[in-house]
Amino acid sequence: MPDDMQFLWPESPNGPDASIDTPHLNSIRADGTTFTQSYTNGPKCAPARFGLLTSRYCSKATFAQAARGTTSLRTSISVPTCKINGVEDEAKTVPQLFKAAGYRTIMSGKYHLLNGGRWDDYEGTRDLIMKAGWTDDGGVYMSNMDNSQGLSFSHNLEWNVNRSLAAIDAARDADQAFFLYFAATVPHGPAIDAALALDPLETPAGRLSEMPEDGMPARSDVIARATNRRGRYQDKTAGTLWYDDAVGAILRHVDQLGATGNTIVVSLMDHGVAAKDELYEGGVRIMHSMKYPGVVPAGELSNAVVTSLDIGPTLLEACGLSSTYSMDGASYFGLFVGGGFAPAPAIVSEIETDRAVVAGGFKFISSFSGNTKDGYPASGQPEQLYDLAADPGEQVNLVDEEAHASVLLQLKAFLACHDQDTLPNALAGSIGCNIRSMHALQA
């Protein structure tokens, strides 16, 4: 398998693992196009989800900027700061745009972008989430679950699927299109086996009066499939299999409605398979596939450099819509319909106070945090430069090499522009720098 494929597969960092059967995730790849150079805007759940649902860097969010103040060059990008919070940010979301166009917008699974909410107040918490442009509750979890709180429920994908299918049916009955964001809480912890053993009637919204109709295999079947030939159960495998079952139930339902040919399906991850919370390729290169029968070629690989920020603009263009606010991503739909793709000359990933900028096959990492990661000789150094083609494992820091001085200066200029563009609003207006207006890197 080529080096540029090693980060694509959720089953294994080194390629498809035949011991894990995920037919429905595989079908999206087989029936669509997979991007071999797709990057996340932030290699952790909340930063990545903020970028996906807004097409904006989290560092531009009102909440994140308030946390930083007006003097620091960068805010710390992580779960506590990446929130869709307040009227300004709630208005700048992809679901808000689809809602305005008459779509049913369905939020199902983990949200993790809410400042506030309580597990013991499902309706109040759901109503806060709905302010960001959602019309339908597909069964929401405000964040990762905290078992220390003594909750009676855990992961419940049957409930999520049931609520999602009901919302899709409501859209069909009202002759409306739908936008579904299905963000299952698995395979993230707490323990999957413990959740599978719980009563499926227990949900964040309270106890159900009857079993949800979901079209999924029995929970015991998940346990059996997650047990290898040596009789050893693997919890994360169970989470992946359970998630695949849920995706399959939704895809089958859409097919039964006769809507497969008119439905775009995007599958992607928050962060890389090999790592999270780091800016090396194993953390920021993500699985990203799109399926759209008759439009997106089936079974193909694209080496276009795209990011999770590009998904919102792409879906909008595919549906004949446009944004009412400035987005940091660009539509790649033209790749499939002959219109081409004009990405930014450089892309940025953010985590904590560290930033990585990728352009022309090179990566520059600027670290304010000083955090170190095992396996990378230059980890923790404030400035790092890598030639990703010659050194995909990021083992040789070229930052002091004279031969790469010109490339380094250009990448630093890109990142300086990004940092300026994400200053608090009070300062950003006098700067006026945007990476999209800069020239592409000349190596």
Give the CATH number of the domain where residue 389 resides.
Answer: 3.30.1120.10
HSE (side-chain half, CA atoms, 13 Å) at 158: 22
Question: In this structure, is residue 296 part of a structural domain?
Answer: yes
Rounded distance between C-alpha atoms, residue 277 and residue 279, angstroms: 7
Which residues face 181 on adjacent strands?
A: 107
* Residue 293 falls inside a structural domain: yes
Q: How far is CA 112 from the centre of its chain?
A: 12
Give the confidence band of 424 by pLDDT, cuts at 50, 70, 90.
confident
- Tokens for 319, please give them: 């549906």
Residue 66 clears pLDDT 90, i.e. is over it? no
pLDDT recorded at residue 198: 94
Q: Is residue 442 part of a domain?
A: no
Q: Angle at which helices 23-30 and 235-256 pack, to 10 degrees?
A: 60
Residue 176 lies in a domain: yes
Lowest mean pLDDT among 22-36, 113-127, 420-434: 420-434
Same domain membership, residue 329 and residue 351: no
> Could you write out the DSSP letters of every residue in 322-361?
--SS--SS---THHHHT------SSEEEEEBTEEEEEETT
Q: Are residues 279 and 371 in the same domain?
A: no
Give the pLDDT band (50/70/90) at residue 430. Answer: low
Written in H, E and C, the secondary structure of 52-89 is HHHCCCHHHCHHHHHHHCCCCCCCCECCCCCCCCHHHH
DSSP assignment, residue 285?
Answer: B
d(CA 373, CA 428): 33
Q: Which among 337, 360, 395 is the end of a domain?
A: 337
Classify residue 122: in a domain, yes or no: yes
Do 73 and 158 reside in the same domain of the chain? yes
Whole-angstrom distance, CA of residue 425 vs CA of residue 73: 13
Are 286 and 362 in the same domain? no
Query: Is residue 364 domain-shared with residue 333, that is, in the same domain?
Result: no
Whether residue 13 is predicted with pLDDT greater than 70 in this model: the reply is no
Are residue 194 and residue 126 in the same domain, yes or no?
yes
Residue 40 CA to its chain's centroid (Å): 7
- Read off the tokens for 82: 């990446």
Does one domain contain both 239 and 179?
Answer: yes
pTM for the whole thing? 0.94
- Answer whether residue 443 is part of any domain: no
CB neighbour list of residue 406: distance below 8 Å, 6 or more residues apart: 442, 443
Average pLDDT value over all residues in the chain: 92
- The verdict on residue 380 lying in a domain is yes
Our count of domains for the chain comes to 2
Q: 209: domain range?
A: 3-337
Are residue 150 and residue 225 in the same domain, yes or no?
A: yes
Say if 342 falls within a structural domain.
no
Q: Of 15 and 438, which is predicted with more confidence? A: 438
* Lowest model confidence (mean pLDDT) among 7-16, 110-119, 285-294, 417-426: 7-16
Tell me, yes or no, whether 433 and 413 share the same domain.
yes
Q: Please say which residue of 312, 337, 362 terminates a domain.
A: 337
d(CA 361, CA 411): 11
- Whole-number Å distance between alpha carbons of 324 and 328: 13
